[in-house]
Structure formats: structure tokens, C-alpha cells
Amino acid sequence: MYVLVCQECRGFSDERAEGWRGYRIDHPDKTGPPALLFYCPRCAERAFGPFEHVEDDRHRAESGE
């Protein structure tokens, strides 16, 4: 089982990590792969606002929307 650690409050997720968000970060000054930062639901909403679900164009095309 993996546990996520919130970048802001350092809290831990449960096994479902429901509502947690992950963000890819790139460091222009550094070489190597980008990193992922995770935020618990409370810190994510405070830092980035409410979550807005975005469907990709492929899903819309497949469903005929």
C-alpha cells in the first residue's frame, strides 16, 4: 500500500486517497525527470481552488457529446 504525504500540512492519506491531488512540477534549472507533489483535499482547495473536472476531447468523441 502506498501513502501520500501532503506537501503543505504533511498529513498522510488513507489507502483510498480520496480527494487528494497530485501536481507535476518541473524545475527549469535542474536536469532529470519532473517530480510530483501531493496535496490533501483541504490544502489543495486552499492553494488551488475547488477541483474542476475536465474531460478530454477523446472521451467526448467516444461518448458522442
| pTM reported for the whole predicted model | 0.70
Statement: residue 9 has pLDDT above 80:
yes
**DSSP codes, the chain:** ----B-TTT--B--SS-TT-EEEEE--TT--S--EEEEE-HHHHHHHH-S------HHHHHHHT-
Could you list the residue range(s) of the whole structural domain that residue 45 is in? Answer: 1-65
C-alpha cell at 25: 512540477
Residue 25 has pLDDT above 90, yes or no: no
**pLDDT recorded at residue 23:** 93
pLDDT per residue as tens digits for the range 26-60: 877 777 788 899 999 999 999 999 988 766 555 55
Distances (CA, A) of 61 to 18, 52, 53, 54, 55: 28, 20, 17, 14, 11
- pLDDT score for 33: 82
Indicate the number of domains in the chain: 1
